[in-house]
Copies of this chain bind each other. A is one copy, B any other.
Amino acid sequence: MRQAGRYLPEYCETRKRAGSFLQLCKNPAMACEVTLQPLARYNLDAAILFSDILTVPDAMGLGLYFTEGEGPKFERPLREEWAIRDLTTPDPYDHLRYVMDGVCEIRRALHNSAPLIGFSGSPYTLACYMVEGASSSDYRRVKTMIYDRPDLMHKILSVTADAVIAYLNAQIESGVQAVMIFDSWGGGLSAAAYQEFSLQYMQRIVAGLIKEKDGERVPSIVFTKGGGLWLESIADIGCDAVGLDWTIDLGEARRRVGHKVALQGNLDPNVLFAAPDKIAVEAKKVLDSYGPGNTGHVFNLGHGISQFTPPEHVAVLVETVHDYSKGLRKI
């Protein structure tokens, strides 16, 4: 998940200077600045590239914009068959050059003090925004296309998967040391539709990724919010780690797929609104749930951090996780 964000006053200041969220994403120096802010404040084990998943469809020509309080929107959502047939894969070094420039700048600034994680949205999640044109409460348009015109949906997903492969490989070539694929909306699909319209394309992406760079493995992490029911099939697509939201017990997830993949997660971000002692209790429960011998566990929130989170509560969480997991590792 994003580490930087509106819960940090220093982020709000940079964003104000940038003029808008999108200008912040598109300015490599500022994207670098906000990427590093959480690391200056907290004792974190990795940096997460600051960007937005919708830069890819923006590069595909859909015209991303943000309106205050309403979230992301596209000027040209995919509604017509001709527009879908015309979709092409953008060159990441051209239309998404600003992301690659940001990656280079962040790596230089990090001086190998922490690894840098890059990311992309999953094809299905990107398609949701591309077809709906904005966030949606029911994904009616995208579901209608799935059931009524699966051929068109597959065309969108196929082009988008190729775009994501090129995009993530360009991030890796530019310096990110691990990549995460975010499937925010796949969990809203039926069991069968998830396999056909989301997982299949993430599998294609994982297969197309650069696996090693400068003699080091570049791990891939796949996260489907609400995907707990389908864990075995997710762990089977060739990724190195699976991200988990907080609805699944981590110990159960470990029993089901821990022999195949590392597990990342899974504290409910809303725990961060509780008092510090309660935050520590809940963080320890997550670590205990995975259990001893936890080198296959990457502690994380189960989804994005709320803009209303008190920054000092995040410090409590980071300290607790470091202190307590050291003990568990020794067992």
Contact flags A279-308 to B (C-beta < 8 A → 1, else 0):
100100100000000000000001000101
Task: Choose among B140, B148, B274 the residue that contacts A144 (Cβ–Cβ < 8 A).
Answer: B274
Q: In the complex, A308 Cα to B140 Cα: how many Å?
A: 9
> Residue A212 at the B interface, CB < 8 A?
no
One of A27-35, A46-54, A265-273 contacting the partner: A265-273
CA distance A190 to B143 in the complex (A): 27
Among A249-278, those with CB < 8 Å from B are 249, 252, 268, 270-271, 273-275, 278
Measured CB to CB, the nearest residue on chain B to A268 is B190
* A148 and B273 in contact, given A140-B308, A229-B229 (Cβ under 8 angstroms): yes
Q: Interface size on A (CB < 8 Å)?
A: 36
B229 touches A143 (CB 8 A): no
A191 and B248 form a contact (CB under 8 A): yes
A147 near B270 with CB under 8 A, answer yes
List B contacts of A214 (CB < 8 A).
none
A247 CB within 8 Å of chain B: yes
Known A139-B270, A270-B140, A306-B138: A282·B229 in contact at CB below 8 Å: no
A275 and B143 contact, CB distance less than 8 A:
no
Looking at the assembled complex, report how far the CB atom of A128 sits from the nearest CB atom of chain B, in whole angstroms. 12
Q: Which of B140, B192, B270, B278 contacts A138 (CB 8 A)?
A: B270
Q: Is A118 an interface residue (CB 8 A)?
A: no
Residues of B within 8 A of A148 (CB): 273-275, 278
Q: Within the complex, which residue of B147, B187, B192, B228 is in contact with A249, where a contact is CB–CB below 8 Å?
A: B192
A191 adjacent to B249 (CB under 8 Å): yes
What distance in Å separates the Cβ of A251 from its nearest Cβ neighbour in chain B? 9
Q: A274 contacts which chain B residues (CB < 8 A)? A: 144, 147-148
Quick one: copies of this chain in the complex? 2
CA distance A148 to B273 in the complex (A): 8
Question: Cβ of A193: which chain B residues have Cβ within 8 Å of it?
Answer: 268
CB of A112, distance to nearest CB on chain B (Å): 36
- Within the complex, the shortest CB–CB distance from A232 to chain B, in Å, comes to 11
Whether A278 lies near B246 (C-beta < 8 A) is no
Considering only residues 211-232 of chain A, those with a C-beta below 8 Å from chain B are 226, 228-229
Cβ-closest 9 pairs across A and B = A143-B270, A147-B274, A144-B273, A191-B249, A148-B274, A190-B246, A228-B229, A190-B268, A147-B271
- Besides A148-B278, A190-B268, A191-B249, 18 other CB < 8 A contacts? A138-B306, A139-B270, A140-B306, A143-B268, A143-B270, A143-B271, A143-B273, A144-B270, A147-B270, A147-B271, A147-B274, A147-B282, A148-B275, A187-B247, A190-B247, A191-B246, A191-B248, A228-B228
Sampled A-B contacts (23; CB under 8 Å)? A138-B306, A140-B270, A140-B273, A140-B306, A143-B270, A143-B271, A143-B273, A144-B270, A144-B274, A147-B274, A148-B274, A148-B278, A187-B247, A188-B247, A189-B247, A190-B302, A191-B246, A191-B247, A191-B249, A192-B285, A226-B226, A226-B247, A229-B229
